[in-house]
Amino acid sequence: MSERISLREAYGQALLELGRERSDFVVLEGDLSDSTRTVHFARAFPERFLDCGCAEMNMMGMAAGLAASGVLPVANTFSVFSTMKACEQVRTFICYPNLNVKIVSTHAGLDLGEAGVTHQAIEDVAIMRSFPNMTVISPADGIETGAALRAMVQSTGPMYMRLGRSDLPIVNDRGYEFVLGKAVNLRAGGDLCIIATGVTVSAALDAADLLAGRGISAAVINMPTLKPIDRKAILRAARQATALITVEDHSIIGGLGSAVLESLAETPLVPVLRLGLPDVFGESGRPADLFAKFGLDARGIARSAEAFISRARRAS
Amino acid sequence: MAHDDALVHELEAKAKILANDCLTQFCTFSQGHVGGTMSVLEIITALYFHHLKFDPKNPDWAERDRVVMSKAHCCEAIYAALTELGMYPKETLGTYYCYQSPFQGHADRWCTPGIDFSGGSLGQGLSFAAGLALAEKLKMHYNPPSRQDTFLPRYIVRYNPKYRVYCIMGDGEQHEGQVWEAAMFATKFKLDNLIGIVDYNKWSLDGPTNDVMPIEPLVDKWKAFGWNVIEINGHDMRQILDACDAAAHVTGKPTMIIAHTIKGKGVSFMEGRPEWHARALSAEAMAQAMAELGREWMA
């Protein structure tokens, strides 16, 4: 895992490359092109780049009008703005009519860092998952981000992809093929299984190394599609492990953890520990400090996992 | 272009038929947004029975003019128009607000051929309309008729649009911030194929619109946002037709028609009365209303 790239930079480059291959989509931007990295596309294809300004509700409503007329829009802003400021517009004008609009949002989660709570989306997955017809994607690295964008543009229907801010290592193989709706087994392990998404996947892998040193064998699954979630993969993991841990840069209410629990609700097989923000807001700080505070770095995940599996073993 | 008297009288008579249809439904089902439907009837009549490029036999025609009824609670006016155009049997009016009726409580694009917008949440229609209008221009770019006609936001595009988009809003709706986001957007992208209409009937739910949250000076606001503004009496058929024609000749900027209207227009006990925003009509009230509209109420 030598190369590091931010998911938003990987996205910006993938979008540019896509723009060179196809001319049937337009890129909408909420005045944040330097941050979302749509700036690459904007410079290359100014006639297909529509800056809608700092007006996200109009951007989403207008995107619906474009899509209803057969034009494919890829709408960009920060996760807080696309899912909350323009929440109703996404729900009623994009999801209800099942329109072909792709929403890519950056700066999600604690990974946003110093800009603080107003900009840290820790509810976006919960909100987007609750809308019928919406697909929710949370890639773990640069390779997966580019592949997911392609998959999004090749599919029809409303889609939301959340990306963080900071540089991340590559965790997937180079030859990896992204499949919408499918989990990725990154590491085998017999004792417990860590299901992670987005920025937390590399921390989960590092946690598995730490756990191995303490005699605990942890499998790690990357879950890049949060809706529709790979229920089969979750059931398989639940049958093979003594405990499941879910990790996300998001509230433990309504995100990956909740989705995993929903999958297991009718066949409760194992105890599940949800790691994420425990129904509190984040704060301003370096991502590394914030992840450490909320136990979402490798050491925190390993510590929580070890304690949880001990309890699970005593209980069983 | 001058509109002859015969056309004007014909459309005025048609508006009365639509009024009859709407009031009959409000009475039959004891619900409906009466006042705001009555205030917009002449505008709907002018559009659907004269001005719009629209084929009732082919409601999905790609080159049709689009109507975005952003004040979708008054969709009954459009249902009556579509029925009068022969798109729906007369009996369909009798299913308004009913389970699985094409005539839903708020107009729904996905249930009802002939409806272009699923509305109800105020303030949203103009954005959707802007997207429809922009798509028409973008498609021009992908298939431009000549090398000069290239869509770039910086340039004024001079061509005859294949279709126009009309967005009808309420006056209370002008409170919504998204309306003004869309206003800025339409000016930036020179959406001269977008025509907005404000049904300015002076009443929102809690009282007179300008008491609840003042919107005056409304004409100045739209002008300040870069729109071409035409102010009319929204019940004067000739003025409505003239305004629509004038808007169709404007290039480089969108047009907003501010139509001064009376909530509950046409029925003396409803005109300007806020309680008629949404209210059931008794049979007696219905008979009086019909008499005033010059028609007979067949109870």
pLDDT in tens, B89-130: 988 888 888 888 888 888 888 889 999 998 889 999 999 999
According to the model, what pLDDT value does residue A176 have?
Answer: 85
Task: Judge: A47–B189 Cβ closer than 8 Å, yes or no.
Answer: no
Question: Both tokens of residue B53?
Answer: 């490029």
Which of A23, A48, A58, A72 best probes binding to B when mutated, by most B CB atoms within 10 angstroms? Answer: A58
Closest in A55, A66, A88 to B131, CB measured: A66
| Distance (Å, whole) CA B52 – CA B255 | 16
What would the mean pLDDT of B140-148 be, rounded to a whole number? 46
Task: Judge: A62–B136 Cβ closer than 8 Å, yes or no.
Answer: no
Q: Which of B240, B169, B231 has its CA nearest to residue B11?
A: B240
DSSP string, A149-211: HHHHHHS-S-EEEE--SSEEE--S-TT----TT--EEEE--SSEEEEE-TTHHHHHHHHHHHH
For residue B175, the SS3 value is: helix
Q: Chain B residues with CB inside 8 Å of A68's CB?
A: 109, 128, 131-132, 135
A56 as an active site residue: the answer is: yes
Does A90 score more than 50 pLDDT? yes
Range of weakest confidence among A1-5, A64-68, A95-99, A153-157: A1-5
Task: Judge: B109–A26 Cβ closer than 8 Å, yes or no.
Answer: no
Q: Chain A residues with CB inside 8 Å of B150's CB?
A: 47
Q: Does A57 touch chain B (CB under 8 A)?
A: yes
Distance from CA of B213 to the nearest CA of A (A): 21
DSSP-derived letter for residue B254 is: -
What residue type is A239 in one-letter code? R
Q: Which of B37, B40, B45 has its CA nearest to residue B10?
A: B45
Q: Which of A182, A197, A191, A188 has its CA nearest to residue A246?
A: A197
Which of A49, A69, A89, A99 best probes binding to B when mutated, by most B CB atoms within 10 angstroms? Answer: A69
Does A167 score more than 50 pLDDT? yes
Q: Which residue of B has its CA nearest to A59?
A: B127
Give the helix/strand (H/E) hosting B229.
Answer: strand B228-233
Supply the angle between the helices B177-188 and A56-68 in degrees, to the nearest 10.
60
Distance from CA of A183 to the nearest CA of B (A): 34
Pairing of strands A243-251, B203-204: unpaired
The distance from CA B162 to its chain's CA centroid, rounded to whole angstroms, is 20
What would the mean pLDDT of A280-299 be, rounded to a whole number? 97
Q: Chain A residues with CB inside 8 Å of B130's CB?
A: 58, 61-62, 65
According to the model, what pLDDT value does residue B295 have?
Answer: 62
For residue A58, the SS3 value is: helix
Range of weakest confidence among A258-262, B175-179, B287-291: B287-291
Q: Which residue of A has its CA nearest to B187?
A: A52
Task: Judge: A92–B189 Cβ closer than 8 Å, yes or no.
Answer: no
Q: Does A34 touch chain B (CB under 8 A)?
A: no
The answer to whether the CB of B43 falls within 8 A of the CB of B93 is no
Reported as a pLDDT band with limits 50, 70 and 90, residue B141 is low
pLDDT in tens, B265-299: 888 888 887 777 777 777 788 788 878 877 655 54
What would the mean pLDDT of A119-139 be, rounded to a whole number? 98
According to the model, what pLDDT value does residue B284 have?
Answer: 83
For residue B250, the SS3 value is: coil
Place of tokens 């609840």: B212
What would the mean pLDDT of A86-101 be, rounded to a whole number? 96
DSSP-derived letter for residue B213 is: S
**Which of residues 42 through 101 in chain B touch A, CB cutoff 8 A?**
none
| Distance (Å, whole) CA A76 – CA A98 | 19
Reported as a pLDDT band with limits 50, 70 and 90, residue B147 is very low
Query: pTM for the whole thing?
Result: 0.93
Q: Does A65 touch chain B (CB under 8 A)?
A: yes
Reported as a pLDDT band with limits 50, 70 and 90, residue B140 is low
**Which of residues 167 through 226 in chain B touch A, CB cutoff 8 A?**
177-178, 181-182, 184-185, 188-189
Closest in B110, B128, B136 to A61, CB measured: B128
According to the model, what pLDDT value does residue B154 have?
Answer: 39
For residue A106, the SS3 value is: strand
Q: Tell me the average pLDDT of chain B.
A: 87
Distance from CA of A88 to the nearest CA of B (A): 9
Reported as a pLDDT band with limits 50, 70 and 90, residue B159 is low
Place of tokens 């494919």: A72
| Distance (Å, whole) CA A305 – CA A308 | 5
According to the model, what pLDDT value does residue B93 have?
Answer: 83
What count of CB pairs under 8 Å joins A to B? 95
Does A127 score more than 70 pLDDT? yes
Reported as a pLDDT band with limits 50, 70 and 90, residue A219 is very high
Closest in A64, A88, A92 to B131, CB measured: A64
DSSP-derived letter for residue A117 is: T
pLDDT in tens, A183-204: 999 999 999 999 999 999 999 9
The single residue of A3, A29, A47, A56 carrying the catalytic annotation is: A56
Share of residues in chain A with pLDDT > 90 (%): 92
| Distance (Å, whole) CA B299 – CA B290 | 11
What would the mean pLDDT of A292-305 be, rounded to a whole number? 98
Q: Which of B197, B186, B129 has its CA nearest to residue B163?
A: B129
Task: Judge: A58–B182 Cβ closer than 8 Å, yes or no.
Answer: yes
Does A11 score more than 80 pLDDT? yes
According to the model, what pLDDT value does residue B296 have?
Answer: 56
Q: Chain B residues with CB inside 8 Å of A66's CB?
A: 131-132, 134-135, 138
Q: Tell me the average pLDDT of chain A.
A: 95
pLDDT in tens, B35-81: 889 999 999 999 999 999 999 999 989 889 999 999 998 999 999 99
Range of weakest confidence among A219-223, B57-61, B240-244: B57-61
Q: Which of A136, A141, A140 has its CA nearest to residue A95?
A: A136
Does A2 score more than 80 pLDDT? no
pLDDT in tens, A17-47: 999 998 889 999 999 999 999 999 999 999 8
Task: Judge: B153–A53 Cβ closer than 8 Å, yes or no.
Answer: no
Q: Does B142 touch chain A (CB under 8 A)?
A: yes
Give the burial string for B43-61 (b: 16+ CB within 10 Å, else e).
bbbbbbbbbbebeeeebee
Q: Which of B122, B276, B164 has its CA nearest to residue B285?
A: B276
| Distance (Å, whole) CA B122 – CA B60 | 25
| Distance (Å, whole) CA B149 – CA A122 | 46
- Assign residue B190 a region (left: φ > 0; alpha: ψ between -120 and 50; beta: otherwise): left
